[in-house]
Amino acid sequence: MYLVAGLGITGQSVLRYFQAQGEKCFAYDTRSELDVKQLAAQFPAVAFATGHVPTAWVSQFETIVLSPGIAKSEPWVQHLLKLGKQVVGDIELFARAVGKPVIGITGSNGKSSVTTLTGKVLEQAGYQVGVGGNLGEPALDLLMDATEYDVYVLELSSFQLETTYSLQTISSAVLNISEDHMDRYDELEDYIQAKTKLFEHTEWAVLPEGFAEQGVIHHCPVVRFGLSEGFIHSANDYGLLWQNEQAWLAKGQTPLVKVSDMALQGKHHQLNALAMMALCEPFDLPPQVFATVLSEFKGLPHRTQLVVNYRDIEWINDSKGTNVGATLTAIESIGQQAAHRHGKVILLAGGVGKDADFSPLQPPVHQYCRQVILFGRDRQKLAEALPHEAVIQVETLAEAVTKATELAQLHDSVLLSPACASFDQFDNYAQRGQAFETYLRDWILTQEKA
Write the secondary structure of the chain as one string of H (helix), E (strand) and C (coil): CEEEECCCHHHHHHHHHHHHHCCCEEEEECCCCCCCHHHHHHCCCCEEEECCCCHHHHHHCCEEEECCCCCCCCHHHHHHHHCCCEEECHHHHHHHHCCCCEEEEECCCCHHHHHHHHHHHHHHCCCCEEEEECCCECHHHHHHCCCCCCEEEEECCHHHHHCCCCCCECEEEECCCCCCCCCCCCCHHHHHHHHHHHHCCECCEEEECCCCCCCCCCCCCEEEECCCCCCCCCCCCEEEEEECCEEEEEECCEEEEEHHHCCCCCHHHHHHHHHHHHHCHHHCCCHHHHHHHHHHCCCCCCCCEEEEEECCEEEEECCCCCCHHHHHHHHHHHHHHHHHCCCCEEEEECCECCCCCCHHHHHHHHHHEEEEEECCCCHHHHHHHCCHHHEEECCCHHHHHHHHHHHCCCCCEEEECCCCECCCCCCCHHHHHHHHHHHHHHHHHHHHHC
pLDDT of residue 180: 64
Buried b (16+ CB within 10 A) or exposed e, 398-407: bebbebbbee
Say how many Å lie between the first and final Cα of the chain, rounded.
Answer: 65
Give the whole-angstrom CA distance, residue 36 versus residue 49.
Answer: 8
| CB neighbours of residue 21 within 10 Å | 13
What pTM was estimated for this model as a whole? Answer: 0.89
Q: Between the CA atoms of 292, 296, 299 and 301, what dihedral angle is there, to the nearest 10 degrees? A: -140
Its sign, for the CA torsion 267, 268, 270, 275, is positive
Q: How far is CA 23 from CA 29, 140, 144, in A?
A: 19, 14, 14
Distance of CA 386 to the CA centre of its chain: 25
For the packed helices 9-21 and 90-97, what is the interaxial angle rounded to 10 degrees? Answer: 40
389 contact partners, CB below 8 Å, separation of at least 6: none
Pair 146, 124: CB distance under 8 Å: no
pLDDT of residue 182: 61
- Catalytic center residues: 111, 134, 181
pLDDT in tens, the chain (450 residues): 999 999 999 999 999 999 999 999 999 999 999 999 999 999 999 999 999 999 999 999 999 999 999 999 999 999 999 999 999 999 999 999 999 999 999 998 999 999 999 999 999 999 999 999 999 999 999 999 999 999 999 999 999 999 999 999 999 999 998 766 666 777 888 888 889 999 999 999 999 998 876 555 778 999 999 999 889 888 999 999 999 899 999 999 999 999 999 999 888 999 999 999 999 999 999 999 999 999 999 999 999 999 999 999 999 999 999 999 999 999 999 999 999 999 999 999 999 999 999 999 999 999 999 999 999 999 999 999 997 788 999 999 999 999 999 999 999 999 999 999 999 999 999 999 999 999 999 999 999 997
Tell me the residue type at 338.
A
Count how many residues are written for the chain: 450
pLDDT of residue 213: 60
From 370, 309, 377, 363, select the one nearest 344 (Cα to Cα): 370
For the packed helices 267-279 and 111-124, what is the interaxial angle rounded to 10 degrees? Answer: 50
Query: What's the CA angle centered on 178, arms 322 and 238, to 5 degrees?
Result: 110
pLDDT of residue 179: 64
| CB neighbours of residue 138 within 10 Å | 23
